[in-house]
Amino acid sequence: MFGWLVVPPFLDQFQKLLALFPNVWERLRTNLILLSETQSHFDWLPPPPSLNDLLTRLQPLLTDIFANFFTVFSNSLLIILQLIFICFLTITMVMAPKKYRYLFLKLFPSFYRKRGEEILTLSEVALGNWLTGVTINCLFIGTLSGLGLLVLQVKLVLVHALLAGLLNFIPNVGPATSVVFPLMVALLDEPWKIWAILIWYFIIQNIESYWLTPTVMAKQVSLLPAVTLMAQIFFARTFGILGLLLALPLAVVAKTWIEEVLFKDILDPWDSIV
């Protein structure tokens, strides 16, 4: 029922949002020209680059993009294939979880398989807790974003709210990305809304960062902010965009195995072994 009510209008608004990109670029270009024309009133400011200067500076970048078009295309295709592969792998594992669990436990020595099964169960619980906490955060961000944009009368509220909630699954990067879309619409509507949107999103992110996340995640799963950031950098550099998307669940699983195997099974009983 939720899908039938939300998905069709979301897709419709998302198409409208994509159609605004040329208009946004044209408005930015117009504002840049107006700024250059009124430069005499702001002599104390450094002169802004002209449109020709910007195009001149962008020309090497555009040349590189066209020169490396095949590389960009192949990388994009690779990401799509990786997403399809992960979805297919997830579906096959969900359909027969016991078989894959059994094969994974066979990798351990016979005396450690029972303990390995316990750690697997703990990993499942940790992943479930993390998913619950992140879902609560995303619902919070999406709801407050939608309410604020509704009050400000920003168009395409549904797509902005859903994107804000969904992109919140990617810490640090997602929230910064989600604010770009309502800013684009505000630029075409009434520019004063840009500052209102920035202030509102800043308030939401601070409430989420300093109150909601510590409150919810402390009860669900404890991941230090520095560990979260390091996990994102490591998995993104190792596996690319998919590593960035899967950084937190992989970090949760890795944390569980490190705590159980390294700390509890090896380091904690070290004195008794010696």
Least confident of 76-80, 182-186, 203-207: 76-80
The predicted pLDDT at position 76 comes to 61
pLDDT at 225: 72
- Please name the residues in contact with 54: beta carbons below 8 A apart, sequence gap of 6 or more: 32
Q: Assess contact for 24 and 187: CB atoms under 8 A.
A: yes
Residue 61 has pLDDT above 90, yes or no: no
Bigger pLDDT: 94 vs 121: 121
Compute the Cα dihedral for 243, 245, 251, 252 and give only its sign: negative
Whether residue 263 is contained in a domain is answered as no
Backbone angles phi, psi at 145, to 5 degrees: -60, -45
User: End-to-end distance of the chain based on CA atoms, in angstroms?
Assistant: 61
Average pLDDT, the chain: 79
Nearest one of 144, 155, 157 to 187, comparing CA atoms: 155
pLDDT value of residue 220: 66
Higher pLDDT among residues 33 and 9, named by residue: 9
pLDDT higher than threshold 60 for residue 42: no
CB 242 within 8 A of CB 82: yes
How far is the C-alpha of 80 from the C-alpha of 74, rounded, in Å? 10
Q: Does residue 205 form part of some domain? A: yes
Asked, for residue 102, whether it belongs to a domain, the answer is no
Question: What residue numbers bound the domain in which 147 lies?
Answer: 116-222
Q: Which of 125-134, 196-205, 241-250 has maximum average pLDDT? A: 196-205
Count of domains forming the chain: 1
- H helix or E strand, kind and range, residue 135: helix 113-151
139 inside domain: yes
Cβ atoms of residues 205 and 198 within 8 Å:
no
Is residue 52 one of the residues assigned to a domain? no
